[in-house]
Each structure stands twice: as structure tokens, then as C-alpha cells.
Amino acid sequence: MTNKNDANKYHFDAYDLTLLMPVITPNEKGRDCGDLVVFPNTRNFSKNLPKNILMKFIYQNKIIRLFATQSWFKKLFKGVTIKVKPGNAYIFYGFRTYHGNQEIDDNLIRSTALFHYNDPFLESKLVKFIEKRRSSSKTGL
């Protein structure tokens, strides 16, 4: 059985730089191991909030995310599948790089430490309002 809950949720990070440090990663041939897929530097850095919201609306929906799982899309947009290894650190421009994880078998464990640096919209009142609404809907407040 494969865990699809967090799989293929391709996105751009809200932060400019992402440091990914794998802690535990499965390496089972023939099984879904939740490998990282990146489309390096798909877009430029930007401090234009409406443009960022539009880009997220275009890229972070079910149809484009489904396309991102297809080999033709990976070929067209130079997607790279990475089997990350504990002990290594992976640094990429999360804001610019469309990325996500593939599916992972339910009985396999993958654990990753993520660090994000520099939020270009840190001072945005609109972003703060959206984040506040999202966190209160998760906690039921």
C-alpha cells in the first residue's frame, strides 16, 4: 500500500533558499520510496506578491501537479528525480524550484529536516492575514 497523502504536492517554497537534510530514507528497489523531484529554477525570484499568488495558483493545482508526475512533463521542464541520502545536504532555491516528493510505501519511513531562509513577503499584511486564517482553520479556532 502506498501513502499518497503528501505525495506529489508539487509547490514553490515561500522562502528563497531551502536546505534539505535527509535523516532516514528508504532505498528499496521496486518500491515507492518518496524520492524528491525538482524542476530547478522554474521561475525567478520576485517580491511581487500578486505575481507570486498567480504563479502559485497556476502551478499548485491538481491538474499541473498531476502533469508533474508524468514523464513527458519532467522531460519538457527538465525535472530531476533525486534519491536523497542521509549525511548529505541539498541546497536549492525553493522559491524558484518547483518541487515535491513521489509516493512512499506505507511501511517505509522517510524523515527529513528542512530549513528555509529569507521570506520575501515577510512584511506583507496580506500574507500574514492568509497564514493566520490557515493556522486557525487547522486548529479549529
Residue 134 CB, nearest distance to Fe ion (Å)? 16
Of 31 and 102, nearer to Fe ion (C-beta) is 102
- Assigned C-alpha cell, 80: 530531476
* β partners of residue 65: none
Using CB under 5 A, count the residues that bind Fe ion.
Answer: 1
Radius of gyration of the chain (CA): 16
Q: For Fe ion, which residue of 10, 13, 33, 84 counts as binding (CB under 5 A)?
A: 13
Q: How far is the CB of 11 from Fe ion (least distance, A)?
A: 6
Nearer to Fe ion, 31 or 65 (CB): 65
CB neighbours of residue 21 within 10 Å: 16
Provide the minimum distance between the beta carbon of 29 and Fe ion in the complex, in angstroms, as a whole number.
26
Please say which residue, 13 or 32, places its beta carbon nearer to Fe ion: 13
Diameter of the chain measured on Cα atoms: 47
Distance of closest approach, residue 140 Cβ to Fe ion, in angstroms: 25
The reply on whether position 32 binds Fe ion by CB under 5 A is no
Pattern 49-88, Fe ion, x by CB under 5 A: ----------------------------------------
Identify the residue whose cell numbers are 505575481.
51
What are the Cα distances from residue 69, in Å, to 1, 7, 74, 75, 99? 18, 10, 7, 11, 11
Query: What is the SS3 assignment for 100?
Result: strand
Judge contact between 109 and 26, C-beta under 8 A.
yes
Q: Which residues lie near Fe ion (CB under 5 A)?
A: 13
